[in-house]
Amino acid sequence: MLSLRPSLKDAIWGGFRLFERYRKGSGERLAESWELSTHADGHSRLSDGRTLQDRLSMEPWLAGGSAHQDGTIPILAKLIDARLPLSVQVHPDEDSARRHGELSGKTECWYILDADPDAWIYHGLRKSLTRTELEQHVREGTIESVLRKVPVHAGDVFFIPAGTLHALGGGILCFELQQSSNVTYRVFDYDRRDHAGKPRRLHLQEALDVATLTPTPREIPGLGQPRTIKGLTRRMIVCCDQFAMEELTLNGEGVVDVPRRQFAGLFLVKGQCRAVSWRPQSRQTGEDELLLTPGQTAFLASQESILLRGKARAFLFSP
């Protein structure tokens, strides 16, 4: 069990909720907090300053075979504060990513933590288009007219398969679980300018090569019903080929067991709890212990059993 320190990112659409709610940063504008990451663009770090990737490269058994030889892992978890709308964008799938020289595609899932009353997202197309029709809408700046606009509220979950045209609207704080990729192809950016006063780059041809031209299903793969054992209620939020995530509601005590060939991440959304290493055979606690407060993330090693004590809400996620 390892306590993680995030990699913090700013962007022109970022805000201040990450500091206000989770005390990320020191009050400056922030767009993202990469909570669990071995990606080169933003590493999670341990309490001793080393990166999580460094630790996993030296002790690969911690990831149960889910890490590559260099210590990188296939998922990335982050917080996003969209004070302003993000660009309309799309991410490649595995095959498309490799054709463009990238290591991984990017399927993702959003859990809306907070949203302004009129908040919305774009989630795929409203109707099927040809490639020519999509290109025409992008070139004419009318892409928003063919996107499905969905009102959002705290607690909503959205599955964004690779290839889906999408965007977070303004006034949203969300938790995102995704494949470990930072490849984004923008198709519309509200004519915004970067710090140098230049329009931010769009990626028309790359986007056309990977975009899905039919509406994206609203259904979430693996979404389940709550189940309670003693003081812990668990609900599967998403379960797909790329990752899985559960919502945990703790009211007392509960045990989380990490499978043999996996690792897990634990993000505390609300409340407070103690996470203690647990020996199921003897039903005794071990020496490892973390006090988790809102906004903290822990890495749970393969085959690790953790006893949670407290009153809290958390996300448990794994590849």
Active site amino acids: 186
* C-alpha to C-alpha distances, 281 to 67, 224, 255, 256, nearest whole angstrom: 28, 29, 13, 14
What is d(CA 141, CA 129) in angstroms, rounded to the nearest whole number? 16
Contacts of 264 (CB under 8 A, 6+ apart): 256, 258, 299, 300, 316, 317, 318
46 φ, ψ (degrees, to nearest 5): -90, 175
Site of tokens 């041809």: 205
Rounded Cα distance between 193 and 199, Å, is 4
User: What letter would DSSP give residue 61?
Assistant: G
Q: What sign for the dihedral angle of Cα 305, 306, 312, 313?
A: negative
Strands 42-43 and 264-279: unpaired
For the chain, report the end-to-end CA distance as a whole number of angstroms: 17
In Å, how far are 4, 10, 36, 98, 255 from 274, measured between CA atoms?
Answer: 15, 31, 19, 42, 12
Q: Let me know: does 6 contact 22? Beta carbons within 8 Å.
A: no
